[in-house]
């Protein structure tokens, strides 16, 4: 767990506000859920894997004592470890109050009892957009566009969205004759094609117990050809690869794969025609870790960044688990902490986040009222203005003004007061001039806004 110092807080705030601005422009709505959820909600069906992630909160008072006596469960709540499980619970609970198609964004902390490591924290932010209640591939288009625009809004310029579909991946593995139990292993191995080459992959697939014929078919897959083609052509090549495998294995073409190819085609067409600058790559081996995806899956990367900045996909089974009916859903998460790290390392934040506009000196306690009046005017004009709480010498106050990034220091000594002027000192250049008291606020505003 970390403390957030002012400089980093402002960077986080900047990211949050920019992302929020984009999501709002896409019509996504903000929600929040409690940090604590019931343990049974967090664990869900088959949630044993999550159990080790959860910070559990102890029962209290009489129920705790009863549990201790009966050697029963001591905890009945835990800190949320992601924003998706709470969303499912939230949607089931509030469905009647929410629009039929619900677009929400959620930028908030989650907690995981992982062993801390470099870049991994036990409290960190997630940043999700999801559209619930529709199976239209237009949902995929909206979350992809929104995510790309969110990253654009904080200064990333060139993107690649890697695109695949769980249905295609399954069809491909089935056509190659990979038993269902080994499909996950096969994907992990195939993902190493870049590093270990065709032979390395074939060897590893063998070690993992794949049938020889399946290895032969998969090794022959022209992944590089699909990836390097234009997305429309990549889809066409992928279709051919799939047909080849299906013909080889004597399997029939699957309706599922056809639907997937059609959906990806729609995404590709809309992107190329309505979102110039957003490149799509069809990646037949993109798998995304989490088991819950059911349709298109995607990751977004920026040139020169060696890992993805976000990922998502369609997950039609998950959101309905606390309700009575199935709920279609598609979402895209930005790796908030990753983006923050990359942007910090690359100096992508504006330089003056949080710097003061003006610093009003106070040398004698008797000058405080005048300083407060001046500050009040400046603040009313929207300027970030500090009045030191301790009166003191010029040197110390100018140092504080400088440390806090003030654009100007305003000095009102007895002489200035008599003459009805204020000394305005620009901190960067050291340039000082006398400004009529009545014109001061206007002058400082012009200077700070860059119009003076």
Stretch 29-58 residues interacting with a copy of itself (CB under 8 A): 29-36, 55-58
In the complex with a copy of itself, the residue whose CB is nearer, 197 or 393, is 393
The reply to whether 63 sits near a copy of itself by the rule CB under 8 A is: no
Could you list the beta-strand ranges (E) of 206-304: 278-282, 296-302
Tell me how far apart the alpha carbons of residues 90 and 34 are, in angstroms, rounded to a whole number.
10
For the CB of residue 118, give the shortest distance to a copy of itself in the complex, in Å.
Answer: 18
Chain center to CA of 281: 21
Residues 252-271 that bind a copy of itself (CB under 8 A): 266, 269-270
Binder of a copy of itself out of 24, 65, 303, 428 (CB under 8 A): 24
In the complex with a copy of itself, the residue whose CB is nearer, 101 or 196, is 101
CB neighbours (10 Å) of residue 164?
26
The reply to whether 18 sits near a copy of itself by the rule CB under 8 A is: no
CB neighbours (10 Å) of residue 265?
16
In the complex with a copy of itself, the residue whose CB is nearer, 217 or 406, is 406
Q: Check: CB of residue 408 under 8 Å from CB of residue 424.
A: yes
Tell me how far apart the alpha carbons of residues 417 and 363 are, in angstroms, rounded to a whole number.
13
Stretch that binds a copy of itself, among 135-143, 189-197, 252-260, 439-447 (CB under 8 A): 135-143
DSSP for residue 320:
G
The reply to whether 341 sits near a copy of itself by the rule CB under 8 A is: no
The reply to whether 419 sits near a copy of itself by the rule CB under 8 A is: no
The reply to whether 379 sits near a copy of itself by the rule CB under 8 A is: yes
For the CB of residue 102, give the shortest distance to a copy of itself in the complex, in Å.
Answer: 9
Residue among 302, 300, 330 at smallest CA distance from 316: 330
Largest CA distance in the chain: 98
Residues 68-107 that bind a copy of itself (CB under 8 A): 74-75, 77, 79, 90, 93-94, 97-99, 101, 104
For the CB of residue 68, give the shortest distance to a copy of itself in the complex, in Å.
Answer: 9
Tell me how far apart the alpha carbons of residues 377 and 448 are, in angstroms, rounded to a whole number.
15
How far CA 92 is from CA of 86, 87, 97, 139, 232, in Å, comes to: 10, 8, 10, 20, 38
The reply to whether 323 sits near a copy of itself by the rule CB under 8 A is: no
Binder of a copy of itself out of 39, 43, 113, 445 (CB under 8 A): 113
For the CB of residue 191, give the shortest distance to a copy of itself in the complex, in Å.
Answer: 31
The reply to whether 364 sits near a copy of itself by the rule CB under 8 A is: no
Going by DSSP bridges, is the β-strand pair 408-411/421-426 parallel, antiparallel, or unpaired?
Answer: antiparallel
In the complex with a copy of itself, the residue whose CB is nearer, 2 or 213, is 2
Residues 270-309 that bind a copy of itself (CB under 8 A): 270, 273-275
Residue indicated by tokens 């000095």: 411
3 state SS for 121-188:
CCEEEEEEEEEECCCCCHHHHHHHHHHHHHHHHCCCCCEEEEEEEHHHHHHHHHHCCCCHHHHHHHHH
Binder of a copy of itself out of 260, 383, 427, 435 (CB under 8 A): 383
In the complex with a copy of itself, the residue whose CB is nearer, 60 or 118, is 60
For the CB of residue 307, give the shortest distance to a copy of itself in the complex, in Å.
Answer: 25
- The mark string for 137-156 relative to a copy of itself (x by CB under 8 A, - otherwise) is -xx-xx--x---x-------
In the complex with a copy of itself, the residue whose CB is nearer, 280 or 386, is 386
Q: Check: CB of residue 232 under 8 Å from CB of residue 224.
A: no
């Amino acid at each position: 767990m970390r403390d957030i110092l002012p400089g980093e807080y402002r960077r986080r705030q900047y990211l949050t506000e920019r992302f929020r601005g984009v999501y709002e422009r896409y019509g996504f709505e903000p929600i929040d859920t409690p940090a604590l959820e019931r343990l049974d909600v967090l664990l869900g069906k088959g949630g044993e894997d999550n159990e080790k992630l959860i910070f559990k909160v102890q029962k209290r008072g009489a129920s705790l004592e009863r549990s201790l006596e009966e050697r029963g469960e001591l905890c009945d709540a835990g800190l949320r470890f992601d924003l998706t499980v709470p969303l499912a619970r939230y949607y089931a609970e509030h469905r009647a109050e929410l629009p039929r198609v619900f677009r929400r964004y959620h930028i908030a902390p989650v907690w995981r009892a992982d062993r801390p490591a470099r870049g991994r924290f036990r409290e960190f932010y997630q940043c999700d957009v999801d559209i619930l209640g529709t199976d239209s591939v237009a949902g995929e288009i909206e979350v992809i566009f929104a995510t790309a625009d969110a990253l654009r809004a904080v200064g990333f310029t060139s993107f690649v969205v890697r695109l695949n579909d769980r249905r295609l991946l399954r069809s491909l593995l089935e056509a190659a004759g990979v038993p269902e139990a080994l499909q996950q292993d096969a994907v992990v191995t195939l993902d190493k094609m870049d590093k270990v080459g065709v032979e390395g992959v074939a060897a590893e697939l063998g070690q993992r117990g794949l049938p020889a014929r399946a290895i032969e078919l998969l090794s022959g897959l022209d992944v590089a050809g699909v990836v390097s083609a234009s997305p429309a052509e990549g889809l066409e090549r992928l279709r051919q690869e799939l047909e080849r495998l299906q013909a080889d294995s004597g399997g029939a073409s699957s309706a599922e794969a056809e639907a997937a190819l059609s959906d990806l085609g729609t995404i590709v067409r809309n992107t190329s025609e309505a979102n110039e600058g957003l490149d799509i790559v069809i990646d037949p081996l993109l798998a995304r870790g989490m088991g819950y995806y059911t349709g298109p899956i995607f990751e977004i990367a920026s040139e020169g960044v060696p890992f993805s900045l976000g990922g998502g996909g369609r997950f039609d089974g998950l959101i309905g688990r606390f309700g009575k009916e199935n709920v279609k859903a598609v979402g895209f998460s930005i790796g908030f902490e990753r983006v923050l790290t990359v942007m910090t390392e690359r100096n992508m934040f504006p330089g003056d986040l949080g710097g003061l506009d003006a610093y009003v000196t106070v040398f004698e306690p008797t000058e405080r009222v005048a300083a407060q009046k001046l500050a009040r005017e400046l603040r009313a004009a929207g300027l970030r203005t500090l009045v030191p709480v301790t009166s003191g010498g010029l040197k110390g106050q100018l140092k504080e003004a400088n440390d806090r990034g003030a654009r100007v220091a305003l000095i009102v000594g007895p002489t200035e007061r008599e003459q009805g002027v204020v000394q305005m000192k620009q901190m960067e250049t050291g340039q000082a001039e006398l400004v009529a008291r009545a014109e001061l606020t206007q002058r400082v505003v012009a200077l700070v806004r860059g119009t003076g």
